Every structure is written in structure tokens, then in C-alpha cells.
Amino acid sequence: MVISLSLERLIQAFNRFPGIGRKTAQRLAWFLIAQDKRFALELADTIRNTVESFTSCSVCNMLSETDPCQICSAIDRQDDLLCVVETSSDIQIIENMNEFKGRYFVLGHLLSPIDGFGPQQISSEGLLKHVEDSKPSELILALKPSAEGEATIHYICELLKDKQLAITRLSTGIPFGGDLEYSSNVTLTNAWKRRYPV
């Protein structure tokens, strides 16, 4: 079957989602165009409105509808604990544990020169400023245990080696190469409790 250019663009757009292969992208595209057009147009409006309503928090770099975000604005959080994560969605995963009541900083990416992510792309200057402003006693590196995660952990330790703070990381109960997103709450909670100095 010959696929039109517009349908191919839609398939390629779905294919960019994590975990969505070409076949799944095709099924989603065909499903969408087979529905009542109002469904697709409402979905498009919802996506546009949601995307346009979010911005990066000027304090912690988390994607949020407010600046500063709700966590940075909260007065009941512990200022002496700062958790560094890769993405904004990682914060929700950690919050679901109900174990951590400190602050966060979102890197946005992990170091990966091959993919074009160097120190500037992971907001290292923002992290350094955040540490200098908030002066936490412990920095928790909640990054996935992968080659990129290890490189980022090493870089952050070098960046902050002259600061008076403990730097810890999650226990490797999370499998090497795994994502926080796919870890069960029990696994993540245990890794959290067994974090250790870097």
C-alpha cells in the first residue's frame, strides 16, 4: 500500500515517542485518522495547549506551569537535601515513593558527547548556582546506572569537589542500563534507602 506523505509524517511523529516502533506508530496513525475528526482535533488542541502552558522553572529547571514550580515554592520542603535527576518525569517517580521531602534539580540530559550532550546541555552552570544558593548538606544523584549516567555522576563530582557537601547516589539495586521509569516502587525505595557516598 502506498502511504501518503501526510500519513507518513504522522507515522514518523509517533515513531519519535520512546518505546514506539514503526509498526506501533503505523497502528496509532491509522487509528487516529479512522476516528471521528473531532477526536483528533481535540487531541491536537490538548497537546498544543498543554505544551504551551509549560516552561522551565528558573530555580530547579523542572518543566512546570508556574515559575518557580510548586516544589520550589513549597515552604515545607527540606532545603538541606538536593536531588539531581535527568528529567522532570523522574521527579514524579521519586515523589510517588513518599520518602523524599527535599528539593530537586533537573539536568535535562545526561552527558553523551556522541549525541551532542556536553556540560552546557546538562545545565551544569544552573546546578552549580543552585548548590551555591541553597547550600545543601547532601546532594543525591538519582541518575540511571548507565554509561552516560556514570559519566554524568563523575562530572558532577568533579564540578562540586570543592563544596562542603556529601554527594550520594542510589544503590545499584536498579539494574545497570535501566530507567527509573521502569523500576518498581519497591526497587526504587530500596535503592533510595541504600544510597551511598560517591
pLDDT confidence band for 14 (50 / 70 / 90): very high
pLDDT score of 190 more than 80 = no
pTM for the whole structure: 0.79
Helix, strand, coil distribution of the chain in percent, nearest 5? 45, 15, 40
At 100, list the grid cell: 523524599
pLDDT confidence band for 192 (50 / 70 / 90): confident
pLDDT confidence band for 147 (50 / 70 / 90): confident
SS3 assignment for 89-136: HHHHHHHCCCCCCEEEEECCCCCEHHHCECCCCCCHHHHHHHHHHHCC
Which domains does the chain carry? 5-53 (1.10.8.420), 57-197 (3.40.1360.10)
Question: Which region among 81-85, 133-137, 191-195 has the lowest average model confidence (pLDDT)?
Answer: 191-195
pLDDT 10s digits, 95-131: 998 989 999 999 999 998 888 888 888 888 999 999 9
